[in-house]
Amino acid sequence: MSERSDTDSLARSGLGALDADRFDAAAAVGGWRGVLESAAPTLVFVCVLAVRPHALAPALLASLAVSAVALVARLCGRQGLTQVLGGAALAVISALWAWRSGSATNFYATGLVINAVWLAATGGSLLVRRPLVGLLLDAWHAAAGESRPTDAGARRRYAVGTGILVAMFALRLAVELPLYLAGEAAVGALGVARLLLGLPLFALTLWFVWLIVNPTFRPVPQPHPQR
């Protein structure tokens, strides 16, 4: 087996956690700070509307303020900005959508669109028999000069792992879309659903996928050319 760098041996975040030698749930969702940066804007939005049901503008401003504080804190600490920039961009788009429409439920519309896109991507990869999980793992190991097992058992594991991701995105849409369509009366329930089906479900799903594909974590060394 070829050697990996120290950074590769550490648990990765997001879907990159599937390629880790050990699964770290906290690292998979960006650590406690990543959890706060991801959940806090939505939590603040939900809380403000719970106290003042028709105060859309204050709720949006409070949510954006939380994202801004997280961004400034990252800048001051000279830390990675990828996750917080993505979260800030999503918060801005969500706030603009809700503000322009005048509907608090549209604060969650961008999340529904993102989940629909991921559902189409993961489901589509299964339909064309190129499971997304396998494609990602192949790409990561190809970059490291390694190859992955390509036997039927490995392909089945990749398909099952991708199927679990499909189920997660489908579950989110199945729960959140009816609440979104219910309008302002269900905006509080929609916010709670978004929080519960967000990082907690994502971490649990990644763990299940990791358990499925973990037996394939045996990269095959690339043969060196004969001299």
Mean per-residue pLDDT over the chain, rounded: 82
* 24 alpha carbon, distance to own chain's centre: 15
Nearest to 217 by CA among 26, 23, 29, 14: 23
- pLDDT classification of 78: cutoffs 50, 70, 90: low
Q: Which helix (H) or strand (E) holds 138?
A: helix 132-143
Q: Which 3 state secondary structure label does DSSP give 149?
A: coil
Q: Looking at residues 141-159, what average pLDDT do you find?
A: 77
User: Cα separations (Å) of 150 from 2, 80, 83, 153?
Assistant: 18, 35, 32, 8
Q: Looking at residues 21-47, what average pLDDT do you find?
A: 80
Nearest to 169 by CA among 84, 89, 112, 97: 112
DSSP 185: G
- The CA distance from 119 to 172, in Å, is 10
Q: What is the pLDDT of residue 30?
A: 72
Work out the widest C-alpha separation in the chain, in whole angstroms.
75
CB 3 within 8 A of CB 124: no
Q: Looking at residues 69-97, what average pLDDT do you find?
A: 77
| Beta carbons within 10 angstroms of residue 162's beta carbon | 25
CB 129 within 8 A of CB 102: no
Q: Looking at residues 119-140, what average pLDDT do you find?
A: 91
Token digits of residue 135 = 């494609």
Q: What is the pLDDT of residue 61?
A: 92
Nearest to 191 by CA among 33, 56, 67: 56
